[in-house]
Amino acid sequence: NLISNIKVSNISFTGKEALRILSTSNIDIILLDMILPDMSGLQILEFIEENNLNKYLNSTIIISSNIHLYSHLINNPYICTSISKPINWNILKDILSHLIEEKNEAYNNNNLKCKINKELNYLNYNLAHVGTHYLCDCIYEIYISHNKNTFNLSKNIYPIIAKKNNTNVTNIKCNIFQASVNSYYECDENRMQNYFGKKFYSKPKTKDIIYTVLEHITI
């Protein structure tokens, strides 16, 4: 084994076999030889793209003895990187280790955002509302900063969300405010009271909402 926490799931000797496996399995990382007995690696990539198999985004390492011929694929969203034949196993090990770290981080990030959205959904936030997305991002940024108790939304958090979404701080504030107003009037009063406790005296302020959601997801 190259890496202790990785295992070979499938080995395909033909393109047809590879297409079947890619269609029916959940593969984390694809090592794709660009020359197969019955088709090219390009055809495999075309199949992945045409069938919108987004689970394989940034998951393919292409392998070829003429890797320079595939430089045009550098921006393909399904390709992580490339490696030349003959394979240098130390280089491959480093590539796999880095890719595993990226995927673990992405999984943890998605899992955290799912937890946040579950709390917001409980409070009757409309998850399709852009303000709810901004609020989720704010909570996420504060959580990963490990600085939950001392933050300034306008100075430290809103600018990050604004830059990420190519908008301005005022737009972030207004949309979060509107999403929170909608939630306040849509959510059952007893539910709000139980969720916010002593902080529930009127419509909770954004900072109170963030603090309380953080408390719930860290329990």
Please tell me the predicted confidence (pLDDT) of residue 218: 78
Question: Any idea which residue has 């709810």 for tokens?
Answer: 132
Question: Any idea which residue has 């539910």 for tokens?
Answer: 191
Q: Which of 9-13, 72-76, 108-112, 159-163 is the most confident on average?
A: 159-163
Q: How far is CA 217 from CA 7, 68, 130, 152, in A?
A: 32, 48, 21, 20
CB count in 10 Å sphere of residue 190 = 8
pLDDT digits (tens, 9 = 90+) for 143-164: 888 666 557 898 889 999 999 9
Please tell me the predicted confidence (pLDDT) of residue 167: 95
Identify the band that residue 132 occupies on the pLDDT scale cut at 50, 70 and 90: very high
pLDDT digits (tens, 9 = 90+) for 6-35: 778 888 999 999 999 998 888 889 999 999
Please tell me the predicted confidence (pLDDT) of residue 198: 67
Q: Write down the mean pLDDT value for the chain.
A: 88
pLDDT digits (tens, 9 = 90+) for 162-199: 999 999 999 999 999 999 999 999 988 889 888 988 66
Strands of the chain, DSSP E = 30-33, 60-64, 79-84
Alpha carbons 118 and 109: distance in angstroms, whole number: 14
Question: Any idea which residue has 């075309």 for tokens?
Answer: 46
Model pTM greater than 0.75? no
Strands 60-64 and 30-33: parallel
- The SS3 of residue 29 is coil
**Do residues 65 and 83 touch, judged by C-beta distance below 8 A?**
no
The shares of helix, strand and coil residues in the chain, as percent rounded to the nearest 5, are 60, 10, 30
Sheet bearing 60-64, strands edge to edge:
30-33, 60-64, 79-84
Alpha carbons 33 and 150: distance in angstroms, whole number: 51
Angle at 132 between CA 139 and CA 195, to 5 degrees: 65
**Do residues 166 and 160 touch, judged by C-beta distance below 8 A?**
no
Whether the pLDDT of residue 107 is over 60: the answer is yes
pLDDT digits (tens, 9 = 90+) for 47-61: 999 998 988 999 999
Whether the pLDDT of residue 2 is over 60: the answer is no
Alpha carbons 181 and 198: distance in angstroms, whole number: 19
